[in-house]
Amino acid sequence: MKKIAIMSALLLSAQHASANNILDEYFNTPENGGELLYQPHYGYGKTSKGSDFNLCDSYATKRVPGDKITAITTYSGSEQLKGIKIEYLYADDETVGNTSGNGYRKVFGNTEYIQGYRFYKKRDGNISRIKLNLKDTANNDTRDIVFGGGNGWYKSVERSVNVSERSVIGFAGTAGSSTIWSIYPCTAKRLDLEEIDVTIHWDRISEKVNEKKNFFGESLMKNNSSLDQYGSTEVWYSYGLKESDSWTETLGLSVTAGVTLTQGYKVGVPSTVENSGSISFNFSETFSASTTIGGTSEQSTQKTLKQSIGTNVPAYGVMLARIQVDFSSVSVPYTSTVKNPHNGDIFKFTGVIEGSDYTNAKYDWDEIGYYANNTYHIFTSFAWVADDYGLSNYTIVADPVITP
- Dist CA 105 CA 186 (whole Å): 20
- Dist CA 366 CA 326 (whole Å): 18
Q: What confidence category does residue 284 fall into, taking pLDDT thresholds of 50, 70 and 90?
A: confident
Q: What confidence category does residue 262 fall into, taking pLDDT thresholds of 50, 70 and 90?
A: low
> How many of the other CB atoms lie within 10 Å of CB of 144?
11
Torsion sign (Cα): 165, 168, 170, 172: positive
- Dist CA 336 CA 2 (whole Å): 22
> How many of the other CB atoms lie within 10 Å of CB of 50?
20
158: CB partners within 8 A, 6+ apart: 116, 117, 118, 119, 131
Predicted confidence at residue 404, as pLDDT, reads 73
Q: Is 247 exposed, middle or buried (0-12, 13-18, 19+ CB in 10 A)?
A: buried
56 vs 260 pLDDT, higher one: 56
292-333 tens-digit pLDDT = 889 898 999 999 999 999 999 999 999 999 999 999 998 989
Predicted confidence at residue 4, as pLDDT, reads 33
Predicted confidence at residue 264, as pLDDT, reads 60
Q: What confidence category does residue 7 fall into, taking pLDDT thresholds of 50, 70 and 90?
A: very low
16-71 tens-digit pLDDT = 454 689 999 999 999 999 999 999 999 999 999 999 999 999 999 999 999 999 99
Q: All domains of the chain, ordered by start, with CATH? A: 36-191 (2.100.10.30), 199-397 (no CATH)
Whether the predicted pLDDT of 124 surpasses 60: yes
Whether the predicted pLDDT of 2 surpasses 50: no
> How many of the other CB atoms lie within 10 Å of CB of 166?
19
Question: What pTM, to 2 d.p., does this model score?
Answer: 0.79
**CA count, 13 A, side-chain hemisphere, 320:** 21
Nearest residue to 174 via CA among 45, 269, 350, 14: 45
79-96 tens-digit pLDDT = 899 999 999 999 999 999
Residue 273, phi then psi, degrees to nearest 5: -90, -5
Residues 234/294, Cβ–Cβ less than 8 Å: no
Predicted confidence at residue 13, as pLDDT, reads 33
Whether the predicted pLDDT of 10 surpasses 60: no
Burial of 79-112, coded b for 16+ CB within 10 Å and e otherwise, reads: bbbbbbbbbbebbeebebbbeeeebbeeebeeeb
CA distances from 394 to 219, 305, 321, 334 (A): 15, 31, 19, 51
Whether the predicted pLDDT of 272 surpasses 60: no
- Dist CA 320 CA 73 (whole Å): 78
Dump strand ranges (E) for 201-345: 206-216, 221-222, 229-249, 282-283, 296-300, 303-313, 317-339
Mean of the per-residue pLDDT values of the chain: 90
Q: Which of 155-169, 197-211, 215-229, 364-378 has the lowest mean pLDDT?
A: 197-211
Residues 270/287, Cβ–Cβ less than 8 Å: yes
Whether the predicted pLDDT of 245 surpasses 70: yes
Whether the predicted pLDDT of 202 surpasses 90: no
